[in-house]
A = this chain, B = another copy of it.
Amino acid sequence: MDNQDLRKAGLKVTLPRLKILEILERAPARHVSAEDVYRTLLESGEDVGLATVYRVLTQFETAGLVKRQNFEGGHSVFELDQGEHHDHLVCVKCGRIDEFVDKTIEERQAKIAANAGFEMTDHSLNIYGICPTCQKKK
Contacts and interface: CB of A to CB of B under 8 A. Distances in A.
Interface of A: 70-75, 89, 91-92, 98, 100, 102, 104-105, 108-109, 112-113, 116-132, 135
Given A74-B70, A102-B108, A105-B108, A118 B123 contact: no
A113 B88 CA distance: 10
Contacts of A91: 118
Contacts of A126: 123-125
Contacts of A102: 108, 112
Nearest to A98: B116
Contacts of A92: 121-122
18 contacts: A70-B70, A70-B72, A73-B74, A89-B116, A92-B121, A98-B118, A100-B112, A102-B112, A109-B125, A113-B129, A117-B135, A118-B129, A118-B130, A119-B129, A120-B127, A120-B129, A121-B130, A122-B127
